[in-house]
């Protein structure tokens, strides 16, 4: 298999597409990761086992053929059940062994401009607070109401920066990280949500922009994933300074 430096070099050819994988090269994530790579390092896939259900990430930024060949050759090494992030066109390789349930079409986004605030630029941090482990119960209640279909692990509050906007009723919006690696100079945002009764007031944009300004002190690559049909979220992130990049699909795979 290709060496770790060769794998990292391949991923950095398209760092926003591969932000999650680059972050998972951090030594902290080593116990949770299994890397599949071709000898020439022209195809790389990741099996991430840090969650209750593993996730396989197989994304191509060039010719699909090397990654198709890699997956076909290593199919028996994949878990019996997993979520998958795949470049469109790779799912048929897995269909030979797995039942494939499409969960959604998605896009990668890349922070390409200094993070702006959709609100008053003179009040960048007004009402924005940093969340820590001591806010775990409050954050769990917030996400249960504001993002019930998402996944929030309160342990992440101690693994990377999270911020929130407060109003008279408590947490109005919050933003955090799914990937955070100062060692690899990369972060991927996640758990961005707004309390239902506080939507339409720019709170999510304010929290996202504040988090990006915080992260830029330590990382160079800031990306995020968004559903392709979530036009309001895409518009919000574009106002902050993100642009749309590669398409990918999320799947649930169950061995036949």
Contact 34, 49 (CB under 8 A): yes
Contact 183, 26 (CB under 8 A): yes
Tell whether 245 is covered by a domain.
no
Tell whether 174 is covered by a domain.
yes
Q: Determine the longest span between alpha carbons in the chain, in angstroms.
A: 57
The predicted structure's pLDDT at residue 150: 83
- Rounded Cα distance between 188 and 180, Å, is 7
Contact 70, 36 (CB under 8 A): yes
Q: Are residues 28 and 123 in the same domain?
A: no
Torsions phi, psi for 192 (to 5 deg): -90, 120
Q: Are residues 117 and 212 in the same domain?
A: yes
Q: What's the CATH number where 173 sits?
A: 3.40.630.30
Q: Are residues 151 and 54 in the same domain?
A: no
- Residue 22, sorted as left (phi over 0), alpha (psi -120 to 50) or beta, turns out to be alpha
Q: Are residues 55 and 76 in the same domain?
A: yes
Specify the DSSP class assigned to residue 90.
Answer: -
Q: Are residues 102 and 13 in the same domain?
A: yes
Q: Are residues 102 and 128 in the same domain?
A: no
Q: Are residues 135 and 219 in the same domain?
A: yes
Q: Are residues 88 and 157 in the same domain?
A: no
Q: Quick one: tokens of 89?
A: 């066109």
Report the number of distinct structural domains present in the chain: 2
Q: Which residues contact 62 (CB under 8 A, 6 or more apart)?
A: 42
Q: Are residues 81 and 123 in the same domain?
A: no
Tell whether 122 is covered by a domain.
yes
Task: From 54, 51, 100, select the one nearest 77 (Cα to Cα).
Answer: 54
Tell whether 12 is covered by a domain.
yes
The predicted structure's pLDDT at residue 153: 87
Contact 106, 226 (CB under 8 A): yes
User: Average pLDDT for consecutive 10-residue bins of the chain (256 residues)?
Assistant: 91 98 95 96 96 96 96 97 98 96 98 74 64 95 92 88 94 96 97 95 95 96 97 96 98 96
Tell whether 135 is covered by a domain.
yes
Q: Are residues 211 and 149 in the same domain?
A: yes
- Rounded Cα distance between 153 and 250, Å, is 20
The predicted structure's pLDDT at residue 132: 95
- Rounded Cα distance between 30 and 172, Å, is 35
Contact 178, 172 (CB under 8 A): no
Tell whether 54 is covered by a domain.
yes
Q: Are residues 72 and 118 in the same domain?
A: no
Q: Are residues 13 and 83 in the same domain?
A: yes
The predicted structure's pLDDT at residue 121: 40
Tell whether 207 is covered by a domain.
yes
pTM comes to: 0.93
Contact 228, 247 (CB under 8 A): yes
Range of the domain at 160: 113-240
């Amino acid at each position: 298999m290709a060496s770790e430096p060769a794998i990292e070099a391949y991923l950095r050819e398209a760092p926003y597409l591969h932000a999650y994988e680059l972050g998972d090269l951090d030594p902290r994530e080593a116990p949770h990761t299994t890397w599949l790579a071709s000898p020439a390092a022209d195809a790389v896939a990741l099996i991430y086992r840090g969650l209750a259900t593993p996730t396989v990430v197989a994304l191509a930024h060039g010719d699909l053929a090397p990654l198709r060949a890699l997956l076909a050759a290593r199919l028996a090494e994949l878990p019996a059940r997993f979520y998958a992030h795949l470049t469109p066109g790779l799912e048929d390789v897995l269909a030979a062994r797995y039942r494939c349930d499409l969960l959604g079409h998605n896009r990668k986004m890349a922070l390409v401009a200094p993070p702006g605030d959709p609100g008053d630029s003179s009040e960048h941090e007004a009402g924005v607070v940093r969340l820590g482990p001591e806010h775990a119960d409050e954050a769990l209640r917030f996400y249960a109401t504001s993002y019930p279909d998402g996944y929030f692990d309160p342990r992440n509050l101690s693994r990377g920066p999270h911020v929130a906007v407060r109003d008279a009723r408590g947490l109005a919006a919050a933003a955090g990280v799914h990937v955070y690696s100062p060692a690899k100079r990369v972060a991927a945002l996640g758990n961005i949500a707004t309390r239902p009764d506080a939507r339409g007031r720019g709170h999510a944009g304010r929290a996202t922009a504040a988090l990006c300004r915080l992260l830029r002190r330590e990382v160079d690559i800031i990306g995020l994933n968004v559903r392709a049909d979530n036009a309001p979220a895409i518009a919000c992130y574009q106002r902050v300074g993100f642009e749309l990049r590669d398409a990918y699909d999320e799947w649930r795979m169950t061995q036949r």
